Amino acid sequence: MVIMPLALLEGVKTGFRTNPLRVAEQDQHALFQSIGVQPVRLWATGDPLSPRDCKVRIEADVPAKMAAGAEVPVPCTVQNLGSALMVTAKPNPVHVSYKWFEVGAADGLTLEGRRTALPATLVPQASIGVVLSVETPPAEGKYILRITCVQEEVAWFDDLDPENIFEAPVSIENAPRPSDSPAVLTAQGSSNG
C-alpha cells in the first residue's frame, strides 16, 4: 500500500501530456528535431527574419500569355529553406508576391504586385501551396513575371538573394474588343393581326 496526496494520484491517472503550453512546446521541439533543424525561436511570431532565414524555393505554373489588365490565378509552391518559421502575422508578416519587369524597357519599368498570405505557418524545409491573384500590366508587351516573398517593412527576398525567385516570360495581350468579333444580326418579324 502506498500513501500519496490525492492531487498526485489524479495526475498519475490523467497522464503527463496535460499542460497545454508544455505539450505545444514539446511538439514544436519534436517537429524541428524531425527535420534536423535547431530553431532560432520556438514560437511563430511576425518579428523580422534575419537575411540568412529569408531563403525560399518557389515553383509556379505561369501561363505564357495573359490578357492586359486582367486578374489571373497562378498556383505556386513555396518551400522554406531557412531555419526560422515563416508566418503571416504582425508586425512583419511574410507574404508571397510578384513583380512585373517590362522586357527591353529603357527605364526598367517594374510593377509590384499584390500580396498573398501564407495559408499556414511555413516551418523550415516544408512546402506549402499558394494561389496568387496576379494582376497583369495594363499595356500589352513582353514581360517577365517574378514571384518571390516579402517580409513587410523588412525586405523583399529577391533583394537579399537572387535565388529566392521564380521567373517566367509572359506575353501580355490586349483582350479582343467587341467590335473585333463577328457581328450576328437577327431580324424580328412582326405580324398584324
Secondary structure of the chain in HEC code, one letter for each residue:
CCCCCHHHHHHHHHCCCCCHHHHHHHHHHHHHHHCCCCCCCCCCCECCCCHHHCCEEEEECCCCEEECCCEEEEEEEEEECCCCCECCCCECCEEEEEEEEECCCCCCCEEECCCEECCCCECCCCEEEEEEEEECCCCCEEEEEEEEEEECCCEEHHHHCCCCCEEEEEEEECCCCHHHCCCCCCCCCCCCC
71 exposure class (CB count in 10 Å sphere: 0-12, 13-18, 19+): exposed
Architecture of domain 51-175: Distorted Sandwich (2.70)
* CB distance 95 to 118 below 8 Å: yes
pLDDT digits 0-9 by tens, 56-92: 999 999 999 999 999 999 999 999 999 888 998 889 9
Q: Would you state the cell numbers that stand for residue 16, as one nine-digit string?
A: 503527463
pLDDT of 7-55, one tens digit each?
877 777 777 666 665 666 667 667 777 877 766 555 567 789 999 999 9
Of the pLDDT bands very low, low, confident and very high (cuts 50, 70, 90), residue 189 is very low
Written as one letter, the residue type at 117 is A
Is pLDDT of 190 > 50?
no
Quick: pLDDT tens for 106-150.
Answer: 666 678 899 999 999 999 999 999 999 999 999 999 999 999 999
Separation CA 135–CA 119 (nearest Å): 20
pLDDT at 100 over 70: yes
Collect all residues with Cβ–Cβ distance below 8 Å to 176 and sequence separation of at least 6. none
Q: What is the pLDDT of residue 192?
A: 47
Q: What is the pTM of this model?
A: 0.71
The C-alpha cell of 20 is what? 497545454
pLDDT confidence tier of residue 173, bands split at 50, 70 and 90? very high
